Amino acid sequence: MDLGLKDRVYVVTGATRGLGNATARELVDDGAKVVITGRDEGTVADAAAALGPDAVGVAVDNADPEAPARLIATARERFGRFDGILVSVGGPPAGFVADNSDEQWQAAFEAVFLGAVRLARAAAAELDEGGVIGFVLSGSVYEPIAGLTISNGLRPGLAGFAKSLSDELGPRGIRVVGVLPGRIDTDRVRELDSLSADPEATRTASESRIPLRRYGKPEEFGRTAAFLLSPAASYMTGVMVPVDGGARHGF
């Protein structure tokens, strides 16, 4: 299938590794151009170089109020257009209710929630018909995940924002989608497993609860996200799409 991605230009935040990077790779492989972000200048430059000439890196924090305008301007200046954005950010600190401080909540709110809202608002103001705004969220949108209290608090709210935004932007022909990763084999998930006394046993137990009986590969997530961002998904908006091997219990 031709996804219609050739020469389209996307901003992908948090794309130096993990799910953002996997999505950027799939977009570039299908002919798109990307502006990727991360906090560390050297890491961003290395990630962009690895993606090739159709990628440019910008060192920026999602929580920076100046980030949206800078990223969209970079897309236009470097590649001549701006077709969409995928807002991906590293997960907030793990912990139960009593473990997380006010400072951790505030920092996560700025990066995970408010930063995403700012990026989406800026993109909405700049996109034309056929544009798309995507959010990398989590299965916690539907089911709380033990030990990830901050994520459980923020991700569902962001999904609600995304749904509202899809209703508002639909008449302009702009789509809004969410992608909900389950246990994808990334550094973040391995880090969470390592918090247990026996990481290998934790992974085995987690895999036993997934109908496909394994963790997902980053490229499997990336392909789904790239499809949702592409013109091939032109009649999909306001949806939250799980990429979790069937782990979600509901329909």
pLDDT digits 0-9 by tens, 69-114: 999 999 999 999 999 999 997 777 788 898 889 999 999 999 889 9
Residues 44-55 have pLDDT tens digits of 999 999 999 999
Give the bridge partners for 42, in sequence order: none
Q: Smallest Cα–Cα separation from 57: which of 68, 69, 41?
A: 41
- Give this prediction's pTM: 0.94
Give the pLDDT confidence score for residue 91 in this predicted structure. 76
| Ramachandran category for residue 18: left, alpha or beta (phi over 0 → left; psi -120 to 50 → alpha) | left
Residue-level pLDDT at 196: 87
What number of other Cβ atoms are within 10 A of residue 222's Cβ? 25
pLDDT of residue 145: 86
Res. 230: pLDDT tops 80: yes
Cα separation of 127 and 118, whole Å? 14
Is residue 123 scored above 80 in pLDDT? yes
Q: How far apart are CA 166 and CA 230, in angstroms?
A: 16
pLDDT-derived band at 9 (thresholds 50, 70, 90) equals very high
pLDDT digits (tens, 9 = 90+) for 17-76: 999 999 999 999 999 999 999 999 999 999 999 999 999 999 999 889 999 999 999 999
